[in-house]
């Protein structure tokens, strides 16, 4: 059973708690169904070759080579400079975003990587920014890439640009989750109490959208058609999808997160109608 409160016009929620199995919740009627996930053949891939202590990693778009990194394995088993991590494409499909995981070190990657962009037509990559590269730490808004920068795996520590936290585009502004800067000593004793704010891209003006009640955190904001905003209100890792100024929508399960970041990556919202 899924605890749900009907909200007409808020579309559909998809919860993939098990790989390949998706539970669908219609937020207008709270009807639920379970379907198999449709498999999409990716157009953006990385191919690898290796011969002895040398090899290559190549980004390919629709089968065509975009950018190649030459690897050496004589001193580092994971290779240097390291494997390519794909981070998506620009909305106009002209740029590929990627990062290189130094020496295939999960620990180094956890503290942030350098996001780079390379033209689909080929050429030299350009560094964008360094930081945690979770999908919800960046968004395209008005043709611009807005992202949270700053090293350190702790979600609310030493981050900048405009605010710290997850982002969602809302026209000429971004909706973010933010929290006070928590130091390393607090990481293992508490989780950040995230709240939501709107930041204008033109001048950085910030408007607080909500403050969660004691013991709760408001994570993972998402903006839909007509400016509707939803987010996950969590308590001790258990979350409920909320409509801003509209109350609870549906229980979405558990996400214990990682160093203060709970992406709720298994949750997709259809964004509803205007």
Q: What is the mean pLDDT of each run of 10 residues along the chain (274 residues)?
A: 86 91 94 89 93 96 96 91 94 94 81 90 91 83 79 66 61 83 51 88 87 93 89 95 95 90 92 61
Angle at 211 between CA 152 and CA 256, to 5 degrees: 45
Structural domain of residue 195, as residue ranges?
1-38+132-274
Pairing relationship of beta strands 138-141 and 95-100 according to DSSP bridges: unpaired
Spatial separation of the C-alpha atoms in residues 120 and 130, rounded to whole Å: 21
Omega before residue 119 within 30° of 0, cis: no
In a shared domain, residues 78 and 195: no
In a shared domain, residues 51 and 179: no
Residue 24: burial class (beta carbons within 10 Å; 0-12, 13-18, 19+): middle
Whole-number pLDDT of residue 186: 45
In a shared domain, residues 123 and 168: no
Q: How many residues does the chain have?
A: 274
In a shared domain, residues 188 and 101: no
Whole-number pLDDT of residue 157: 65
Structurally, the chain folds into a number of domains equal to 2
Whole-number pLDDT of residue 274: 46
In a shared domain, residues 103 and 125: yes
In a shared domain, residues 221 and 101: no
In a shared domain, residues 163 and 263: yes
- Last residue of some domain: 89, 104, 130? 130
In a shared domain, residues 152 and 188: yes
Q: Are residues 167 and 148 in contact, defined by beta-carbon separation less than 8 angstroms? A: yes
Record the pTM: 0.81
Whole-number pLDDT of residue 130: 84
In a shared domain, residues 46 and 10: no
- Last residue of some domain: 99, 115, 130? 130
In a shared domain, residues 74 and 175: no
- Last residue of some domain: 130, 154, 185? 130
Whole-number pLDDT of residue 273: 55
Q: In what order do the strands lie in the sheet with 247-254?
A: 217-223, 229-235, 238-243, 247-254
In a shared domain, residues 110 and 235: no
In a shared domain, residues 193 and 216: yes
């Amino acid at each position: 059973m899924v605890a749900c409160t009907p909200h007409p016009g808020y579309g559909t929620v998809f919860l993939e708690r098990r790989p390949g199995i998706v539970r669908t919740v219609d937020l207008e009627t709270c009807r639920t169904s379970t379907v198999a996930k449709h498999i999409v053949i990716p157009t953006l891939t990385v191919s690898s070759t290796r011969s002895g202590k040398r090899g290559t990693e190549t980004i390919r778009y629709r089968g065509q080579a975009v950018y190649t990194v030459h690897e050496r394995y004589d001193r580092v088993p994971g290779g240097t400079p390291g494997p390519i991590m794909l981070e998506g494409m620009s909305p106009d499909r002209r740029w590929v975003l990627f990062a290189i995981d130094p020496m295939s070190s999960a620990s180094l990657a956890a503290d942030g990587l350098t996001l780079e962009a390379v033209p689909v037509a080929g050429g030299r990559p350009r560094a964008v920014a360094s930081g945690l590269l979770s999908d919800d730490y960046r968004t395209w808004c008005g043709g611009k890439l807005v992202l949270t920068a700053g090293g350190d795996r702790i979600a609310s520590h030493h981050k900048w640009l405009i605010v710290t936290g997850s982002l969602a585009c809302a026209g000429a502004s971004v909706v973010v989750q933010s929290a006070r800067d928590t130091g390393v000593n607090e990481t293992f004793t508490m989780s950040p109490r995230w709240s939501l704010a709107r930041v204008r891209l033109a001048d950085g003006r910030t408007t607080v959208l909500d403050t969660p009640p004691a013991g709760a955190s408001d994570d993972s904001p998402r903006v839909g058609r007509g400016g509707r905003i939803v987010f996950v209100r969590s308590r001790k890792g258990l979350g409920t999808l909320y409509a801003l100024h509209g109350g609870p929508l549906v229980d979405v399960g558990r996400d214990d997160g990682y160093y203060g970041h709970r992406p709720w990556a298994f949750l997709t919202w259809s964004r509803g109608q205007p």
